[in-house]
């Protein structure tokens, strides 16, 4: 559930693409290729990986296909980690009462 | 964003007492709220079921990793596996480590749960945040958003 998201983020090229997209404005593959040494195909492949975990979405603007950043998967991952963390706080609180009584 | 959870807690009880509460399966079950089928044995699967009110339908399953007396107890499991219909076995497990340290007043317990990623993505993400203002801004938005919700 969360491992694919981490895996998608675990790549320099994809992080660089996200850095550009997270600035806010949706961008085309051409725009994203311009600032890179990679080919258009390579960029497209990386965008598909980001798309597969929902952190990037394709949007159409006229004839152009643009890509935009979506923070939701990261928000969900953070909420998930917060819940696990909260459960540990409760469990450790019970352990404390248990060993100190 | 971090790939691990870390907790430190001071316990006013001797290390030997804390060790027993962690590694005796019945004592562990009392505070963790799980009924375990048998003792913890390194390398073996520990099974049981949750006794936490409202979660009794859930099974407990972990693989005991290390038991270094009064120092380290660790197991791997699937955290927060609260959906009884979901198959968590395909997800990579996380590693839970309890480390004990003697202090003048009792025991310092250091808990870590790690492996929410299988690769060091978080470190890269950290580097990424420092390199890019846009992302830092985005992370702040995310954190504000989450803080509002909780």
Torsion of CA A16, A17, A19, A24, to 10 degrees: 170
To the nearest whole number, what is the mean pLDDT of chain B?
79
Compute the average pLDDT of residues A8-36.
84
Report pLDDT digits (tens) over A37-65: 899 999 999 999 999 988 899 998 888 88
Is the pLDDT at B135 greater than 60? The verdict is: no
Interface check B144 vs A, CB under 8 A: no
Alpha-carbon gap: A62 to the closest alpha carbon of chain B (Å): 26
B134: nearest CB among A22, A96, A98:
A22
Instruction: Provide the number of CB pairs (under 8 Å) joining chain A to chain B.
Output: 119
pLDDT band per the 50, 70, 90 thresholds, residue A68: very high
Pairing of strands A56-61, A64-69: antiparallel
Interface check B128 vs A, CB under 8 A: yes
Is the pLDDT at B43 greater than 90? The verdict is: yes
Q: How is residue B98 written in tokens?
A: 């309890």
Compute the average pLDDT of residues B58-80.
92
Bigger pLDDT: B18 vs B79:
B18
Kindly determine whether residue A79 and residue B146, on different chains, have CB atoms separated by under 8 Å: yes
Q: Is the ipTM of this complex over 0.85?
A: no
Compute the average pLDDT of residues B82-103.
81
Interface check B118 vs A, CB under 8 A: yes
| Greatest distance between any 2 Cα atoms in chain A | 70
Residue B5 CB coordination number (10 Å): 21
Pick the CATH number of A1-70 from 1.10.1740.10, 3.40.1010.10, 1.10.10.10, 1.10.8.640: 1.10.10.10
Q: What are phi and psi of B148, to 5 degrees?
A: -65, -40
CB-based contacts of B127: which residues, under 8 Å, 6+ apart?
none
Interface of A with B in 70-99 (CB under 8 A): 71, 74-75, 77-85, 87-89, 91-92, 94-99
Interface check A56 vs B, CB under 8 A: no
Distances (CA, A) of A19 to A39, A48, A66, B45, B130: 18, 16, 15, 42, 11
**What pLDDT, on the 0 to 100 scale, is given for residue B124?**
39
- Do the Cβ atoms of B13 and B25 come closer than 8 Å? no
- Domains of chain B are 4-118 (3.30.530.20), 119-150 (no CATH)
What burial letters (b/e) apply to B14-48, b meaning 16+ CB within 10 Å? ebebbbbbbbebebbbbbbbbebeeebeeeeebeb
Compute the average pLDDT of residues B130-141.
42
């Amino acid at each position: 559930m969360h491992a694919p998201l981490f895996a998608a983020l675990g790549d320099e090229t994809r992080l660089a693409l996200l850095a550009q997209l997270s600035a806010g404005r949706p961008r085309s593959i051409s725009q994203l290729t311009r600032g890179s040494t990679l080919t258009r195909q390579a960029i497209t492949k990386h965008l598909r990986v980001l798309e597969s975990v929902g952190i990037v979405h394709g949007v159409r603007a006229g004839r152009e296909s643009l890509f935009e950043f979506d923070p939701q998967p990261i928000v969900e991952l953070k909420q998930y980690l917060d819940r696990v963390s909260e459960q540990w706080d409760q469990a450790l609180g019970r352990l404390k009462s248990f060993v100190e009584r | 964003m971090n790939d691990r959870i870390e907790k430190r807690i001071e316990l006013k009880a001797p290390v030997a007492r804390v060790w027993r509460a962690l590694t005796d399966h019945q004592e562990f079950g009392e505070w963790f709220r799980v009924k375990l089928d048998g003792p913890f044995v390194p390398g073996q699967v520990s099974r049981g079921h949750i006794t936490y009110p409202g979660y009794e339908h859930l099974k407990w399953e972990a693989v005991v990793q290390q038991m270094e007396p009064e120092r380290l107890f660790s197991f791997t499991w699937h955290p927060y596996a609260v959906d009884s219909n979901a198959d968590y076995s395909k997800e990579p497990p996380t590693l839970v480590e309890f480390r004990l340290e003697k202090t003048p007043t009792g025991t310092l317990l250091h808990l870590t749960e790690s492996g929410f990623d299988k690769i060091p993505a978080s470190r890269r993400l950290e580097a990424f945040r420092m390199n890019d203002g846009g992302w830092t801004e985005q992370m702040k938005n995310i954190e504000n958003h989450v803080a509002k919700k909780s």
